[in-house]
Amino acid sequence: VGHMVAAAKELRRRDLDILIPAREEALFRATYPAEQYHQEMFTNLFIDTLATKRGFPPGLDWTFGPVLVRARHAYHWSAYHGQLWDAQVVPFIRAVLWHGARIGGMPVPYKHASVMKREEEHEHRWAQKRFDQLSLWVSLLPREFEATKSPQS
């Protein structure tokens, strides 16, 4: 919660509509299951290859769950009927591309629960989940970033 208070102040200070806190890399690497760390780092780099070409700031931590959104843009999440993890990211993309939302990030010293690392690291079913997440991002997100008009969702 402490990170979110600082993030809310940053959202207001920078006059953003969406702020995605970014995990500090050393803590991210140290406290997450190895498979999740590598998959999410790669996913963030993959999304950046698409997003920066459309004017998004580089280096957003697209795969970090807690985000801040101004109330006027919250409807993008309730209006989007995604498959799974895309419901986290596609609304950001659409809010920025088609509705003028301003997006940014800021680093936070987030530490993941050690019990989750112990339970998930080097376990096939969790590694498979990471692969499935990456497959979804790769199959779906290029269409979102390459669209030339607003989707009807």
Kindly report, residue by residue over 59-114, the tens digit of the pLDDT: 999 999 889 999 999 989 888 988 888 888 999 999 999 999 999 999 999 899 99
pLDDT at residue 107 in the model: 94
Task: From 91, 72, 81, select the one nearest 20 (Cα to Cα).
Answer: 91
pLDDT at residue 52 in the model: 97
pLDDT at residue 77 in the model: 87
Asked whether residue 2 carries a pLDDT value surpassing 90, the answer given is: no
Beta-bridge partners for 20: 105
CA distances from 60 to 9, 11, 56, 151 (A): 18, 14, 9, 23
Whole-angstrom distance, CA of residue 84 vs CA of residue 71: 23
pLDDT at residue 1 in the model: 62
Mind listing the pLDDT tens digit for each residue in 118-134?
999 999 999 999 999 99
pLDDT at residue 3 in the model: 86
pLDDT at residue 152 in the model: 63
